[in-house]
Structure 1
Amino acid sequence: MKGFSMLYLAVFFALAISASGEDEAGWEKSFNLGLNITQAAYSDSWEGGEAGSFSWVANADGVFKRQVSTKFNLKNTVKLAFGQTHNQDVETKKWAKPEKSTDKIDLEALGLFTLHKWVDPYVAFRFESQFFDASIDTNKRYINPITLTESAGIARTLLKKDKDEILSRLGLAIKENINRDAVSPDDPTTTENITSLDGGLESVTDVTMVFNDKLGYVGKLGLYRAFFFSKKDDFEGTEAEDYWKAIDVNLENTITASISKYIQVTFYTQLLYDKQISKKGRLKETLALGLTYKLM
């Protein structure tokens, strides 16, 4: 699969370079840094068993777009986040070891063939991971697990006005999941690299709305239905035999409100559904007031 990914990337960039037409414009760049901090402290005379806490989340979001030629548009998206929470023991008042609260690496390259038809072809490559894998206390792993997604299909711009944009795409996708140095299912005392491959139909809708210079919204809806799964035989005869066939859902919503040049309120929600992980949907909500800095 690694060879396939490299071949896919080579074809991706070759298409971008060879797309007919002269260079249209330079890069449209935006890159924001953010830091959110929350602290709670109590005096010794406080009643009720309260304990102090301290949490922080750092994030970076970037979009780099360029009309490479009259017939090819390239958009690179970067989403990075990492945060920890420190809790104080109620009895001893000592601070426990920090625990990870947020961890995200999401990189995507989207190539759109701008033929100005009712729908336009596209190719895309996505890299998803986390900075630190804390699932095994005795085995520190960085940039793990990894999900690589290669997709191609058709896309349509539903709205394009100033900075507002709604782009929806539908295509075939192949996903490779890589879990490095995972505990072996055959021998718990050893570790091994566990990989799986699946492919199916993917639908992605990206929404960007700028209401004014202080208020904006970014949303993303991803739907995925697998047609094949390399590890399906491992679940044959079990309750989870057909779980991989269920539709995966990933809905993200981010509303940002700028109070001043460097202070911003962010409300973020994410709804995930993957039946292989949980039969129930997983919801995450974050309301944060923090510092932000625009590099570009």
Structure 2
Amino acid sequence: MIKQVTLLVAILLILTLIVAAADTTTTTSWKKSLVLDVTTTQAAYSDSWVGGEIGSLNWVANMNGTAEKQMAKWFNYRSILKLSFGQTVTQDDSTKKWSKPKKSTDLIDWDNLGRLTLESYVDPYVAFHLESQFSFQLSEEKTVYFSPMKLTESFGIARKFYSGPKTDAIISRLGFAVRHIITKQLVTGSPTETKSVTTNDGGIESVTDVQLTLNEKLVYISKLGLYKAFFFSEKSKFAGTPQANDWKTIDVNWENSVTAQLSKIIATKLYVQLLYDKQISYRGRLKETLGIGFLFNLI
């Protein structure tokens, strides 16, 4: 069933894009934005410094792109790409040698939404979402790339509550989703040989995207994702254990960022993310970063 739903959503999205692109009844141009920001912090201390502090260097690069087009009078396509990567280097307190760079931030997030704009209260939609990371160290000898990779196909109903300048919008959607999580794992007994393990589940998803330009120097972006699984391919492995029903709990992913542009290329950014996935942790996970750095509006 999972393969059939995945294939159906993929075919629907591709065919709709092709048909809409061939429709000449609309001349709406692309609404697009592409922002790159780089933040770095550095600290160093002399040999005579007391207090236990150590030198450090941290950098993070983010790229956020949005593209939206009314492909035809009856079809709207919106794509959001987020890429983030950062590293931290620290200095040993006694030897003063610098460590190898350690990853502090790593994200690949690509969301594609197609809505049938039928001028009704809600619009039918199909969507495809990819989430992964650039690299992950399985062992001292082995680093893998693009693992784990989470693929989500969904369809349902959506509503656009607000449409503003450029790519500003507030869009909510609710529908049925199928997820595939592809993970590279070490083969038992080998420090370098890997195998791919795939798990599947399906259920209901709710996603709300917010992108607002509050003024010419202040931008707010938020995404709230909720997911409730109804079936899970690996549930038999957990039968009879305390974790048997963890997969049934609602997953939460809430991201918020506020970017304030201080000058043409200098900006400060606050990012807060709240995650809850009972299969990973019984407690919520919170990430917060605040930094100042360079910002480039490429589009």
TM-score normalised by length of structure 1: 0.94
Equivalent position to 2:143, from 119, 129, 140 = 140
1:119-144 CA distance string (max 9 Å, x none):
11011001110000124332210111
Equivalent position to 1:170, from 168, 174, 197 = 174
User: Structure 1 pair 121/4, CA: closer, same or farther in 2 (3 Å)?
Assistant: closer
User: Structure 1 pair 7/171, CA: closer, same or farther in 2 (3 Å)?
Assistant: closer
1:124-171 CA distance string (max 9 Å, x none):
001110000124332210111100000000011223344642111100
Aligned: 1:149 with 2:155 = no
Cα offset, 1:13, TM superposition: 1.9
5+ residue gaps, structure 1: none
Cα offset, 1:105, TM superposition: 0.2
Which residue identity is paired with 1:257? A
- SS for the counterpart of 1:89 is coil
User: Structure 1 pair 78/56, CA: closer, same or farther in 2 (3 Å)?
Assistant: same
Partner Cα distance (1:4, 1:97) in 2: 44
Cα offset, 1:37, TM superposition: 0.6
The equivalent residue for 1:111 is 114
Percent identity over the alignment? 49
Equivalent position to 2:279, from 260, 272, 276 = 276
Equivalent position to 1:99, from 77, 98, 102 = 102
Equivalent position to 2:223, from 220, 224, 229 = 220
The equivalent residue for 1:16 is 17
Which residue identity is paired with 1:202? E
Cα offset, 1:54, TM superposition: 0.2
Which residue identity is paired with 2:212? M
Task: Trace 1:159-198 onto structure 2 (pairs within 5 A).
Answer: 159-162=162-165, 164-180=168-184, 182-184=185-187, 187-189=188-190, 191-198=194-201
Partner Cα distance (2:160, 2:78) in 1: 14
Partner Cα distance (1:198, 1:107) in 2: 20
Partner Cα distance (1:161, 1:52) in 2: 45
Equivalent position to 2:125, from 122, 125, 134 = 122
Cα offset, 1:208, TM superposition: 1.5
Partner Cα distance (1:6, 1:95) in 2: 49
User: Structure 1 pair 18/85, CA: closer, same or farther in 2 (3 Å)?
Assistant: same
- SS for the counterpart of 1:77 is strand
User: Structure 1 pair 171/21, CA: closer, same or farther in 2 (3 Å)?
Assistant: farther
Number of aligned residues: 293
The question of whether the paired residues in 1 share the 8 Å contact of 2:178 and 2:200 is answered with yes
